[in-house]
Structure formats: C-alpha cells, structure tokens
Amino acid sequence: DGGITQSPKYLFRKEGQNVTLSCEQNLNHDAMYWYRQDPGQGLRLIYYSQIVNDFQKGDIAEGYSVSREKKESFPLTVTSAQKNPTAFYLCASSRRDSDYGYTFGSGTRLTVV
Amino acid sequence: AQKVTQAQTEISVVEKEDVTLDCVYETRDTTYYLFWYKQPPSGELVFLIRRNSFDEQNEISGRYSWNFQKSTSSFNFTITASQVVDSAVYFCALKSFNAGNNRKLIWGLGTSLAVNP
C-alpha cells in the first residue's frame, strides 16, 4: 500500500545533540513537507520541497535543516540551534501544483531531555 | 493575507448528539480549496474532504456533512449522531491557487472534539 513512513515514532535525545527524523513516501509525490505541532498551536510549516534537490524554508525553519536527494525521501535534522525542539513532527506529501490535499505520516514525537 | 479561524478550541458532547465545528477563512484569491482533516489520538492526520471555491454545494458523507458558504467565508463541518470514535482534533485548511500562493496549506488551530459515552 502506498503511504508515508515516519520513523521512529518516539525519539529521545539529550540537549545539544543533532537528531534526524526520517520520512519516506512511495506515493510518487513530487512535493514533501515538514510540520511541527505543539499543543494549542496547530501545524507550523518548517520546510517544504517541490522537487528533488530543491527546498524552501517554511514559517519556522530556524534550527532545522533538510535534504531532498531522492524523490522518496525528505529527512529533517533538528540541530542544537533549535531552542525548543520537543514537539510532534509530521511529514506530508502531495502532488505538485495539485488541488489535492496532503497525505500525512503518523508522526515522530521528539523529546529532548 | 490568508487566514483560517477555528474559534472553538474544545467541544465536548455526549454520544449521539449532533455537533458542528466552525471554520471561517480569509483570502482575496478567487480560486482556492478548503479542506478538513481529522487527527485521532494516534497522531496521523486523515483527509476528510476537499471543496473548491467554485462549488458551493453542500456535501454529505454518512454521518458527516459540510456547509460551504462563500457569502460568510465559512466551511462548517457537522457530525450527526456523534460516536466515541469521532473524538479527535479536527483541522480546517485553505489552499490558494492564485499566483504566489499556490504552495502551502494555511491551517486553522484545530478544534478538539471529545465525544463521551
């Protein structure tokens, strides 16, 4: 079945460490997105990519980095520069320039201790 | 500016009650799409419906129905005879397709619905 796989589901890291969240899709979607979700704040866009080897900053990109070397994969690195990284992270994909919505992964809950 | 407002932060109902979740949007664009997503406790957002700006027909899918009114810039979602499994956070979103705006979904903050037995 086609879909988006995010791994791991739960992630614990020590403060000051970089951590990479995985997002893989087999939907043949061109566009991929990373969102951060905090209680009461809805979904905030971190980065998005419309095509391979290209990506743009979203609304809260500071302290995060991404790469898009393959169409299927869009990993997100939470760097030590992110001041408050504990959150729920959602990856999504869509057809490019499409009137369709997004397909979401099941999310990764990152806790920094 | 584009914006989606879900004024109801939390709603609590008893099973079998009907419940309406409000969504008000703002956009100057003429071509846009509106969406509703459901986020159950598991965390994954599930697509419920998409409606384009040129189609104001209401839609019904089982116990779910949607009322789109351009005159009031609203796209409300009603669950009839609610069930415990409807407990989730529901998000309304806007996607515009005029030049310069066709890349991102604009999200509301969500409404948390609790359906109690």
Q: Where are the alpha helices (DSSP H) in B8-92?
A: none
When pLDDT is averaged across residues A87-111 and rounded to a whole number, the result is 88
Distance between CA B101 and CA B98 in Å, rounded? 6
Each residue's pLDDT, cut to its tens digit, for chain B (117 residues) gives: 789 999 999 999 999 999 999 999 999 888 899 999 999 998 999 999 999 898 888 888 899 999 999 999 999 999 999 999 999 999 999 987 765 545 678 999 999 999 999
- In chain B, the residue whose alpha carbon lies closest to the alpha carbon of A104 is B45
Q: How far is CA A6 from the centre of its chain?
A: 9
For residue A2, pLDDT over 80 is answered with: no
**Which of A42, A48, A103 is closest, CB to CB, to B91?**
A42
- A42 against B112, higher pLDDT: B112
H helix count then E strand count, chain A: 0, 11
A25 interaction partners in chain B (CB closer than 8 Å):
none
B3 interaction partners in chain A (CB closer than 8 Å):
none
pLDDT single digits (tens) A44-80: 999 999 999 999 999 999 999 999 999 999 999 999 8
Three-class SS state of B113: strand
Q: Give residue B29's pLDDT.
A: 87
Average pLDDT, rounded, for chain A: 92
For residue A17, pLDDT over 60 is answered with: yes
**Which of B47, B52, B109 is closest, CB to CB, to A41?**
B109
**Which of A45, A100, A107 is closest, CB to CB, to B104?**
A45
Amino acid identity for residue B110 in this structure? G
